[in-house]
Structure 1
């Protein structure tokens, strides 16, 4: 259930244990969550869907901009990063509410053309108290020149204390898109991803990389209070990512040594 003004979106949803179990299984674990259990960190991405009819979608599969996300006149959307604060666990089987506002929207001129930066703030409440605050950073830009040289990504460190490899394929990307109701075509439509948005293949969702890092952080550090992450280079569906930790610093290293995401807990 949802209601919206031009600058605020309110949505309510029941934290369905079956959906959280499906996510656990998709990530390679056992689906053991039950009603009353705390929701793992960042699993609230599975809820508060905003379905739009076919006529309400943009060419990329996302709902058309306008309303909470203003139309900045640029076609390509990228999830650049975000940060979260955790105050209390969300409990499975109970209803929760998410309130979304656009905290910032600015258009600038970059080296490669115009860019727009949008920050959404989500506040998730349950049982009358705030449980999670999330800031989601989006970047909008023009279509790429497919013949132009690509920017050189940063090089990832190799001094980690802990490292785990995760492989990604089209099936996992489809399942994650379905569970999060993410229609962005770069994650399942390879001709579109290559020919329109200029990627080498299907793009692994930035939030999916962040999800693995958050679970890694929780396993190493205990319940999270804060987490921030920033995407620096896309990881493709046919690449194996190395998920690294050194203290409270985390990152994803691509198979060629590039930094795909950096994070801190």
Structure 2
């Protein structure tokens, strides 16, 4: 990463109703799609505030070429391993918000399968099949909170993707109440014997 320096990118963004409606249609869980003025459900900003880079800056994996905002790490696999989101207040569909993105640090780690579109997943990344989108598994867990109709407001979410799930595999979503919120697990076809594929803990008040 010689010569690369972290930078901050600031932009004003519309909480776009169109991808919000598309995500609601994907879930198809009987809950009305959030419309203009409605509060955005937890983590739905991933869809509502998606970035659309021009084709000339994309790499072979469909992501922007590394070396500008992201560091020039020459590894074939990208994994949405996890993170933490703090909700300081509600985002509403149709409003304009300011986005500030910063890479604070870069640490090399090793995952279970080594150092961290179909042919790309199988021929380049070496997976046995098409990988289910990691953020989608996390969003599915967060959506269970909305389906429960809980009156509490989610103020913090910590999430972790432990290993990939492949298209065509069955998954099960499990949840339990904790002292300050909720703990949710997504397990694959092996069940709970091998541990969850994705975990999410939510603090609510």
Compute the TM-score of the two structures, normalised by the length of structure 1: 0.64
Q: Is 1:264 aligned with 2:186?
A: no
Q: Secondary structure at the match of 2:23?
A: helix
Query: Which segments of 5 or more consecutive residues in structure 2 lack a partner in the other structure?
Result: none
Residue by residue over 1:196-236, the C-alpha shift from the partner in whole angstroms, topping out at 9 and shown as x without a partner, is 11112111111111101112134445321111111111111
2:131 aligns with one of 194, 197, 203: 203
Question: How far apart, CA to CA, are the structure 2 residues paired with 1:7 and 1:68?
Answer: 6
Q: Is 1:233 aligned with 2:163?
A: yes
Instruction: Please give the root-mean-square deviation of Cα atoms over the aligned residues, in Å.
Output: 2.3
- How many corresponding residue pairs? 188
Greater relative CO (CA pairs within 8 A, separation 6+): 2
Q: Is 1:193 aligned with 2:121?
A: yes
Query: Which segments of 5 or more consecutive residues in structure 1 lack a partner in the other structure?
Result: 116-140, 142-188
Q: Secondary structure at the match of 1:66?
A: coil
Name whichever structure is richer in strand by fraction. 1
Compute the TM-score of the two structures, normalised by the length of structure 2: 0.82
Contact 1:11–1:48 (CA under 8 A) maintained in structure 2: no
Question: How far apart, CA to CA, are the structure 1 residues paired with 2:63 and 2:14?
Answer: 23
Question: How far apart, CA to CA, are the structure 1 residues paired with 2:175 and 2:113?
Answer: 33
Distance 1:236 1:109, change over 3 A: closer
Distance 1:26 1:246, change over 3 A: same
> What's the CA shift for 1:96?
1.1
> What's the CA shift for 1:7?
0.3
Which one is further off, 64-73 or 98-107?
64-73
1:254 — aligned with what? 188
